[in-house]
Amino acid sequence: MDPTKALEESLDSFGREYERAFADAPTEQALRDEKARLLGKKGALTEALKLMGKVPPADRKRIGERVNGEKSAVEGAFDARLRQLHAEARARELSARPLDLSLPGRAPIRGHRHPISLVTDDLLAIFRDLGFIVVEGPEVELEENNFTKLAFPPDHPATDMQDTFWVEVAGAPSDARTLLRTHTSSVQVREMSRRTPPMAIVSPGAVFRRDDDATHSPMFHQVEGFLVDQGVSMADLRGVLAAFAERLYGPGTKTRFRPSYFPFVEPGAEIDVSCALCKGAGCRVCKGTGWLEVLGCGMIHPEVFIHCGIDPEIYTGFAFGLGVERLAMMRYGVPDLRLLFENDPRFLASF
């Protein structure tokens, strides 16, 4: 077909459809898309122009003017619709509901103390009332404070129960081994080494062991307590811990001692309290026994006194250590210890 004719025909069919398409474009983006469809690389007008090269020179001027006319008509229609869209948007903005600066702001969510902190605070308050002072010790501890001076013989099987994480301290002498403390009993060594009796101290804090399941976490919390003076006996230990149990679980709570072993006490015991839930009748929480294990305790071993520079011929004392998580789980009915450390706000919000 004659290229001039072909080009003229396609310009004819190009028509004025775009006017309608532009008018219907509801947004600036839709309008730009529409324009690209006509004038872009693959646009209808561009396709037609590809025939230009074949048009005989005699017709070129006429056809060229027509093509340019179409192009600027499209541009003009596009600009007009764009101005119209902008004007409409502006009008909408002006007639919209005004921004209300008097609306109250969004209040940030208030945090609160973690259940472990709540229970720890309660325990410390009880011992403060009984005359104990609160002292904290470091979580990264010397092996000698954590084990050796507490009369754990080297490689004693008791250290297996407290397998922990060893820490390398740059520049430390090679015989000063360092670890994450496995219990707060290390604070006994620190404080007894730098104080002269009498002393009555409680020490809360995080401890670390290689355990991880529904009732054990590699990091958990203990409260340690110890009292040293002349003439301290097992009866004092019993009196202090019975008073403590009654304050914690309510009047009438009973305590019982079971013999147990810890290298740094002699004799050593574990204390059970009558189950606060069933009052001793036996239930799910106390596994039918009527008793709950709460702490380890005993009379401070003379060897520990000697390691700390205290004369065991003059002084005696007792010590105890308890796990905070167990108490928190019992108090709040938490079924899985790990919930306490996942920091899920849905869980923590319930305290």
Pick the closer one to ligand DAH by CB: 22 or 152. Answer: 152
Under DSSP, the state recorded for 192 is H
Q: What is the distance between the alpha carbons of residues 326 and 113, in angstroms, rounded to a whole number?
A: 18
Residue among 180, 265, 294, 304 that touches ligand DAH (CB under 6 A): 265
At position 111, the amino acid (one-letter code) is G
CB atoms within 10 A of CB 175: 7
> Using an 8 Å Cβ cutoff, are 145 and 186 in contact?
yes
Residue among 262, 291, 305, 315 that touches ligand DAH (CB under 6 A): 262
Asked if 253 touches ligand DAH (CB under 6 A), the answer is no
Least CB distance to ligand DAH at residue 223 (A): 10
Q: Give the position of tokens 């028509």.
A: 15
At position 337, the amino acid (one-letter code) is L
CA distances from 124 to 5, 136, 273, 317 (A): 101, 12, 18, 19
Q: What is the distance between the alpha carbons of residues 44 and 40, in angstroms, rounded to a whole number?
A: 8
Helix (H, G, I), strand (E, B), or coil: what is residue 162? helix
Asked if 319 touches ligand DAH (CB under 6 A), the answer is yes
Asked if 228 touches ligand DAH (CB under 6 A), the answer is no
Asked if 183 touches ligand DAH (CB under 6 A), the answer is yes
Least CB distance to ligand DAH at residue 250 (A): 24
Least CB distance to ligand DAH at residue 148 (A): 14
Applying CB under 6 A, the span of 18-26, 52-60, 113-121, 319-327 interacting with ligand DAH comes to: 319-327
Asked if 297 touches ligand DAH (CB under 6 A), the answer is yes
Which pair of structure tokens corresponds to residue 351?
Answer: 């305290």
Which pair of structure tokens corresponds to residue 198?
Answer: 């009498």
- Total of residues contacting ligand DAH (CB under 6 A): 11
Asked if 224 touches ligand DAH (CB under 6 A), the answer is yes
At position 83, the amino acid (one-letter code) is R
Per-residue mark of binding to ligand DAH, 31-60 (x: CB under 6 A): ------------------------------
Least CB distance to ligand DAH at residue 163 (A): 13
Asked if 305 touches ligand DAH (CB under 6 A), the answer is no
Pick the closer one to ligand DAH by CB: 197 or 296. Answer: 296
Least CB distance to ligand DAH at residue 296 (A): 3
Contact positions with ligand DAH (CB under 6 A) in 184-223: 185
Pick the closer one to ligand DAH by CB: 7 or 237. Answer: 237
H or E element: which one contains 229?
A: strand 219-229
Contact positions with ligand DAH (CB under 6 A) in 100-129: none
The DSSP bridge pattern shows strands 166-167 and 178-180 to be antiparallel
At position 302, the amino acid (one-letter code) is P
Asked if 132 touches ligand DAH (CB under 6 A), the answer is no
Applying CB under 6 A, the span of 211-219, 235-243, 278-286, 294-302 interacting with ligand DAH comes to: 294-302
Closest CA to 189 of 306, 320, 295: 306
Asked if 296 touches ligand DAH (CB under 6 A), the answer is yes
Pick the closer one to ligand DAH by CB: 7 or 295. Answer: 295
Under DSSP, the state recorded for 131 is T
Question: What is the residue-wise DSSP string for 24-93?
Answer: H--SHHHHHHHHHHHHSTT-HHHHHHTTGGGS-HHHHHHHHHHHHHHHHHHHHHHHHHHHHHHHHHHHHH
Residues in touch with ligand DAH (CB under 6 A) = 183, 185, 224, 262, 265, 296-298, 319-321
